[in-house]
């Protein structure tokens, strides 16, 4: 015996209006077309936000608001480093900022450092690098799957072991760099400690540029599945960055050329 619609709804514990409901498409044809354009643009430029995508898709006569809403609805967003990787610890001692009006004129005068994160399939890892401000040379780096202090201290020890001791070491006030373990190494080698304060968001601009360059020229172009694979790629890239990549800010010289030329000049003066 065939049951009536009312009886079927009663047995299923649903209303008759729910039975007759016809789902409405979430997006219309125009939105589907725009979504396709946004996805294609993100494949080419994964670091574009909705503003730049709107400009790139201006031939589709779209607005920023339309792009932003559709990206939010589809769960799409640009790839960019998260802020506040280094969180301050109130209990740690802070040090004054020493770089104001300081003229940078030789290698190993000022080193600086920062932390960024890199996405992996199924997670992410943290990367710390130390650079020489005079030459922009990457002195050392370390990678970790936890945001602890140990990998930062390890990078610092390697930098000192390979390149000597800087006159000044500048960091932000993140807990990794204000920790007793990190500060002890600097004090042991009599390095002057400088820390960025409030309102000095651009003090670490050179390391931020390094992160941007690394990610746009290497990380975003590949799909790394493991930390070992990523480490090998970062090692290869930093070697290229130091020895082969021309830097406009260095008048198209490489960091290694700038870093070592100062020592060669000093040796020539002593020989004379």
Spatial CA neighbour of 164 closest among 189, 201, 199, 128: 189
- Separation CA 124–CA 150 (nearest Å): 18
Average pLDDT over residues 11-27: 66
In the predicted structure, residue 202 carries a pLDDT above the cut 60? no
Q: pLDDT by residue (tens digit) across 210-258? A: 998 999 899 988 888 889 999 999 999 999 999 999 888 888 899 999 9
List the CATH code of the domain at 110-271.
3.30.420.10
Structure tokens at 186: 């600097």
Residue 157 is predicted with a pLDDT of: 97
Confidence of residue 39 (pLDDT cuts 50, 70, 90): confident
- Separation CA 135–CA 251 (nearest Å): 11
Instruction: Give, in order, the Cα–Cα distances in Å from 239 to each of 133, 189, 236.
Output: 17, 27, 5
Spatial CA neighbour of 79 closest among 34, 39, 118, 128: 118
Helix, strand or coil, per DSSP, at residue 141: strand
Structure tokens at 26: 């979430």
Residue 112 is predicted with a pLDDT of: 95
Instruction: Give, in order, the Cα–Cα distances in Å from 119 to each of 116, 124, 225.
Output: 10, 4, 9
Length of the chain: 272
Name all contacts of 77-82 with Cβ < 8 Å and 24+ positions apart: 77/49, 78/42, 78/46, 78/47, 78/48, 78/49, 79/46, 79/47, 79/119, 79/215, 79/220, 80/47, 80/49, 81/116, 81/117, 81/211, 81/215, 82/117
Residue 157: alpha-carbon gap to chain centroid = 23
- Separation CA 27–CA 137 (nearest Å): 50
The domain ranges of the chain are: 5-74, 110-271
Q: What is the pTM of this model?
A: 0.66
Element (H, E) at 245: none
Quickly tell me which residue has 């990367």 as its tokens: 127
In the predicted structure, residue 199 carries a pLDDT above the cut 50? no
Residue 268 is predicted with a pLDDT of: 45
């Amino acid at each position: 015996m065939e049951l009536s619609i009312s009886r079927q709804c009663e047995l299923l514990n649903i209303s008759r209006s729910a039975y007759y409901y016809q789902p409405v498409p979430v997006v219309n044809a125009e939105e589907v077309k725009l979504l396709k354009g946004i996805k294609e643009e993100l494949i080419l430029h994964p670091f574009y936000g909705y503003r730049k995508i709107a400009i790139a898709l201006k031939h589709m006569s779209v607005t920023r608001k339309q792009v932003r809403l559709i990206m939010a609805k589809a769960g799409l967003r640009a790839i960019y480093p998260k802020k506040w990787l280094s969180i301050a610890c109130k209990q740690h001692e802070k040090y004054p900022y020493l770089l104001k009006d300081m003229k940078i004129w030789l290698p190993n005068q000022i080193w600086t450092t920062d932390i960024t994160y890199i996405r992996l399939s199924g997670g992410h890892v943290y990367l710390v690098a130390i650079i020489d401000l005079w030459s922009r040379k990457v002195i050392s780096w370390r990678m970790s799957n936890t945001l602890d202090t140990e990998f930062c201290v390890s990078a610092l020890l390697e930098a000192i072991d390979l390149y000597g001791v800087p006159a000044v070491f500048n960091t932000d006030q993140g807990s990794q760099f204000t920790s007793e373990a990190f500060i002890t190494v600097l004090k042991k080698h009599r390095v002057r400690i400088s820390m960025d304060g409030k309102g000095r968001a651009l003090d670490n601009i050179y390391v931020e540029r390094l992160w941007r360059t690394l990610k746009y020229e290497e990380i975003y172009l590949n799909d790394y599945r493991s930390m070992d694979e990523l480490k090998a790629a970062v090692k290869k890239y930093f070697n290229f960055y130091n020895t082969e990549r021309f830097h406009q800010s260095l008048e198209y010289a490489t960091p290694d050329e700038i870093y070592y030329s100062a020592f060669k000049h000093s040796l020539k003066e002593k020989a004379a």
